[in-house]
Amino acid sequence: MTYSSPLMSRRSAMSKIASLAALGAGLFSVPKAAKADQAARPVAPGGMDHAQRIEWLIGQMTLVEKAGQLNLLNDPFRFRPQSVNPTDGLGDPARVSRMIRAGELGALFNGVGAEAGRRIQRIAVEETRLGVPLLFAADIIHGLYTVFPVPLAEAAAFDADLARRTARAAALEGAVSGIHQNYAPMIDVARDQRWGRVVEGAGEDVLLNQILAEARVRGIQGDHGLNHPDALVATPKHFIAYSAAQGGMDYNTTDMSEATLRGTFLPPFQSAIDAGALSVMSAFNDLNGVPTSGNHRMLTEVLRDELDFAGFVVSDYTSEQELIAHGFAEDGRDAARIAMLAGVDMSMVSGLYLQHLPDLVEKGEVPMARLDEAVRRVLTVKAALGLFDDPYRGMDPVREKAVCGSREHYQLAREAGAQSIVLLKNDGDLLPLKPSGQKIALIGPFADDVDNVFGPWTIWGDEKHRISLEAGFRAAMADPQGLTIARGSGIETPLEGGIAAAVQAAERADVVVLAVGEGARMSGEAQSRTDLRLPEPQLALAQAVMATGKPVVVLLRNGRAMELSGAVRDAPAIVVSWFLGSEMGHSVADVLFGARSPSGRLPVSFPHKSGQQPFSYDHKTTGRPADPNKAVEEYTARYRETTNTALYPFGHGLTYGRIAYSTPTLSSAIMPWNEAIEVSVAVTNSGPVDVVETVQLYIRDRVASLTQPGQRLRDFRKVAIPAGETVTVSFTLKRSQLEFIGANGRMTVEPGAFDLWLAPSAQTGAPVRFTLAR
C-alpha cells in the first residue's frame, strides 16, 4: 500500500482545522521550562500564531518526539480498578513519567482528577524539551460522577435537546476533572440485538442516530468554541460498520454492500463531523476484507476526502496491533506502517507507533510528510482546545467539587431517566400505581439492587448516589409500609428459597412489580448474547409469580431489545426501564406512580424470537412479503415459528392517555420537483391525563432503481397533548427526505409514487400515497 492523499481535499481539510485552531485563540504563551532543561529548550521566535507555532514545533521535533505525540497510553496515575479495560496496557507511573519527560507520549486516557491532572501536565510542560502539553482523554459514555441513562435508553426519549444537555453536563464534569477529549458518542447503527454494544448507541434507525450524533457532539464540545475550558473534543466511534459484526458477536468480521455502508453506517458520522467533531476512533472490525484500522479507502478517501473530516483519527484499543491477528500485517512494524499509511494518526495502548515510526520514516517506508501530517493534526486539536495557552485549562479542584454530582446534574439525570422509560403494554390500565392504599410487592433481583442501576461504562460514577427501585418507591409512596421486597432470584442464578418467598409476598399484595432483566455486565463491550431471553432463574420466578393470579407489572432492566417469553411476555403491563443511572429509582417511580405519563419510544424493535436477528423495522420487503396477520403462510418470507415482524416495533411506546390518529392529509398528492408538501395528522387524547406523544413520519419509495426498505423514518415530533384535546401535527416534507443511496454509491432521488405514514410506531397506521413529479 502506498501513501497517497489527494492534495486539494487535504488542503481544504487543513485549512478547516487551522481555522478551528485559530478560533478565539491568541498568540502562544511559551511555557516556562524547568531549570533542568531550560538550556536544552529551543527558543521560539515571538509573535507566532497557532498554525505557525505548530510548524515551528514540528520543525524542532526529533523523530521520536514526533512519534511520541502519536502515542497514547492508559493513565497509570489516576487509573481506577473498575475500569472496564484490561490492565495490561497500563504502564507503571515511574515508567510513564520517564516517557513523558523524554517526549515519548502525547496523550493519556481514563484517569480523572483535576489536582493529579495538574501534576502530570506539569511534567510535560515544564520538564520536556519542547513543553508540548499532554492530551487527557476518557470514556465518558453516559456521565462521569453523575450517571445519566445509558445512551440507548436516552435514545428512547427521541429528544435531541435532552441528549445535548446530558452530554454537556457529563462533558462539564470531565472538563473540570482534567479531561480534554471524550471517547463518545458511539454512533454505530445497531441492528443486531445480540451485539452487546447496542446499549452504547442510539439503536437501529439511521435518522435517530444522525440526530442524536449531532446533538451529543454539540453537547460534548459546547457552544463556546473548543478553547473554552468547559469544552471537550468529541470522538464519534467506531469508524466504521463495527456494529454490523457477523452473528452479532463483538469484534467479528463485517461484510456489506456499498449501498448499505453508505446508506446505514456512514450518515451518523457525516452528521457528527458536520457538527464539528474533531476526532474519530477507528474500529476493530474487518470490513469487506480490509480491517478498518488499516483501511486507507475508509480512513482517508471516505472520512477525509468525502466526509471532510479535519481532526485526528485515534485507533481503538490496540486495533492497529490487531492487524496482525487479522492476518493483514506481518508483525508490529508492518502493522504500524499499514495503520499509519491508512490514516490512523494516534495509536491507543499498543506503543507500536513509538516503537516503529522513527525507523519506518528513516527507511523511507512511511513518508516524513505523512508523519508530520499526523503530528500536525494532533497538535492542531491541542491548540484548538487552548492547551498551548493554558495547559491546565479546566483543572480546578474547587470547581471540580462543586460541579461533579451537583444537584442540577442529578435533577437532569432524574428527568432524562423518566423520559427514557417506555411503556410497552398496559392492559386494564394497571398503571399508574396508586401512591397510597395499594399493597405493592416489588419482586425480582433488581428490587433493592444498586449494583446494576448505572449500567455498563461507568468508571467513576459516584457509588454513594445510586437510587434503587426500593428507595424510589418508598420516596414516592404516601404509605411506604405498603411495600414489600422479595428478590426471588439472582440475576443468572437461582436464590435458595427465593421463589417461595416471592410467591408469598405476591399473595399478600394487591399488585406485583416484577423487576427482572439483564445485569449491568450482560450488555456492553464483549457482552454479545446468542439468546435474548431473560436468564432461566428469572423466567421461573416470573412464572411462579404470575401463577398467583395477582396483577403483574413487568419492569425490565436491559441494555438491548429482548425476546419477551412466557410469563414475562404475557403479563398485563410491561415497562422498559433500561439502565437509568444515578437516579434510577426516582425516575422509575415518577412514571409508575403517575407523577408523569410515560413518553419514551423504542429505539430498537423487540422481536418475537431471538433468531430473527439481525432485525430492524426498515428491512426490505423481499419478493414474497408475508402477511403478518396470517399464522402460517408457506413460501413467503417468514419463519416457521413467527412472521418476521416485531412483537413491539421501533417507535412503539404507550402513554397514560388514550391516543388516536386520524388519516394523514396531504397539501397535495403531487410533490413538484422543487417544492415541498405539507402533511398533517390530528392526534386526539381522549384519556384522563396530559401526555407527550411522539408523532413519526415514515415513507416507502414504491419503485426505485435499488430496492428500498418497506418503511423509513424521515421525521418525528414530540407534542404535548392535554387530556381531552386534539392537536394537529404538521410536517413539511422535502424532496431531500426522499433520497437514498443509488447504484452509483451517491445520494439520489427518483420520481414516482411514495407511501407515507404519520403514526405512533413503525408497525401501525394506513399509508397515504403521493407522487414526486419531475
Residues belonging to the active site: 316
Total residues belonging to the chain: 774
According to CB under 6 A, which one of 85, 621, 665, 764 is a site residue for ligand BGC? Answer: 85
- Least Å from the CB of residue 376 to ligand BGC: 24
- Least Å from the CB of residue 182 to ligand BGC: 9
Element (H, E) at 51: helix 50-60
Residue 586 binds ligand BGC, judged by CB under 6 A: no
- Enumerate residues 6+ apart whose C-beta is below 8 A from 424: 574, 575, 576, 602, 606, 648, 652, 653, 654
According to CB under 6 A, which one of 237, 569, 596, 700 is a site residue for ligand BGC? Answer: 237
| Cβ closest to ligand BGC, residue 238 vs residue 356 | 238
| Cβ closest to ligand BGC, residue 57 vs residue 280 | 280
Q: At what angle do helices 50-60 and 7-22 cross, to 10 degrees?
A: 110
**Listed residue (103, 213, 93) closest to 155, CA to CA:** 213
- Least Å from the CB of residue 272 to ligand BGC: 15
| Cβ closest to ligand BGC, residue 193 vs residue 293 | 293
- Least Å from the CB of residue 48 to ligand BGC: 34
d(CA 644, CA 607): 8
| Cβ closest to ligand BGC, residue 143 vs residue 600 | 143
Report phi then psi at 485, rounded to 5. Answer: -120, 135
According to CB under 6 A, which one of 317, 328, 473, 661 is a site residue for ligand BGC? Answer: 317
d(CA 154, CA 579): 10
Per-residue mark of binding to ligand BGC, 502-541 (x: CB under 6 A): -----------------------x----------------
**Listed residue (219, 341, 238) closest to 286, CA to CA:** 238
The C-alpha cell at 568 is 414475562
Q: Which residue number places its CB atom closest to ligand BGC?
A: 183
The C-alpha cell at 746 is 451517491
d(CA 152, CA 422): 12
Q: What is the DSSP letter of 194?
A: T
d(CA 320, CA 323): 6
- Least Å from the CB of residue 110 to ligand BGC: 6
Report phi then psi at 290, rounded to 5. Answer: -125, 110
- Binders of ligand BGC among residues 277 to 316 (CB under 6 A) are 316
d(CA 490, CA 501): 13
How many other C-beta atoms are found inside a 10 Å radius of the C-beta of residue 484? 19
Half-sphere CA count of 573, side-chain side, radius 13 A: 26
- Least Å from the CB of residue 55 to ligand BGC: 31
Residue 183 binds ligand BGC, judged by CB under 6 A: yes
The vertex-414 CA angle with 408 and 420, nearest 5°, equals: 135
CA distances from 113 to 87, 123, 127, 330, 661 (A): 19, 16, 21, 40, 52
d(CA 528, CA 201): 15
| Cβ closest to ligand BGC, residue 345 vs residue 415 | 345
- Binders of ligand BGC among residues 332 to 371 (CB under 6 A) are none
Report phi then psi at 727, rounded to 5. Answer: -120, 135
- Least Å from the CB of residue 86 to ligand BGC: 9
| Cβ closest to ligand BGC, residue 174 vs residue 649 | 174
Residue 139 binds ligand BGC, judged by CB under 6 A: yes
- Binders of ligand BGC among residues 101 to 130 (CB under 6 A) are 110
d(CA 334, CA 330): 6
Residue 698 binds ligand BGC, judged by CB under 6 A: no
Quickly tell me which residue has 476512533 as its cell. 281
How many other C-beta atoms are found inside a 10 Å radius of the C-beta of residue 637? 15
- Least Å from the CB of residue 595 to ligand BGC: 36
Q: Could you tell me if 181 and 135 are in contact, meaning their C-beta atoms sit under 8 angstroms apart? A: yes
Indicate the residue type of 678: E
Q: In terms of C-beta distances under 8 Å and separation of at least 24 residues, what long-range contacts does 734-742 make, across chains too?
A: 734/676, 735/671, 735/673, 735/674, 735/676, 735/772, 737/699, 738/699, 738/701, 738/714, 738/772, 740/263, 740/701, 740/704, 740/706, 740/708, 741/258, 741/259, 741/262, 741/263, 741/706, 742/259, 742/705, 742/706
Q: How many residues bind ligand BGC (CB under 6 A)?
A: 8
The C-alpha cell at 217 is 457532539
- Least Å from the CB of residue 576 to ligand BGC: 24
Residue 250 binds ligand BGC, judged by CB under 6 A: no
- Binders of ligand BGC among residues 606 to 645 (CB under 6 A) are none
Give CA 15 to chain center in angstroms.
Answer: 29
| Cβ closest to ligand BGC, residue 316 vs residue 563 | 316
| Cβ closest to ligand BGC, residue 3 vs residue 251 | 251
- Least Å from the CB of residue 314 to ligand BGC: 9
d(CA 65, CA 132): 10
Q: For 62-205, where are the alpha helices, taking DSSP H only?
A: 63-69, 93-101, 114-126, 151-155, 160-176
Give SS3 for 52.
helix
| Cβ closest to ligand BGC, residue 140 vs residue 741 | 140
| Cβ closest to ligand BGC, residue 272 vs residue 418 | 272
- Least Å from the CB of residue 303 to ligand BGC: 17
| Cβ closest to ligand BGC, residue 525 vs residue 633 | 525
- Least Å from the CB of residue 75 to ligand BGC: 11
| Cβ closest to ligand BGC, residue 293 vs residue 565 | 293
Indicate the residue type of 706: L
d(CA 148, CA 150): 6
| Cβ closest to ligand BGC, residue 242 vs residue 648 | 242
d(CA 203, CA 160): 14
- Least Å from the CB of residue 297 to ligand BGC: 22
- Enumerate residues 6+ apart whose C-beta is below 8 A from 637: 622, 624, 625, 626, 644
What region does 311 belong to: left with phi over 0, alpha with psi -120 to 50, or beta?
beta
What residues line the site for ligand BGC (CB under 6 A)?
85, 110, 139, 183, 237, 316-317, 525
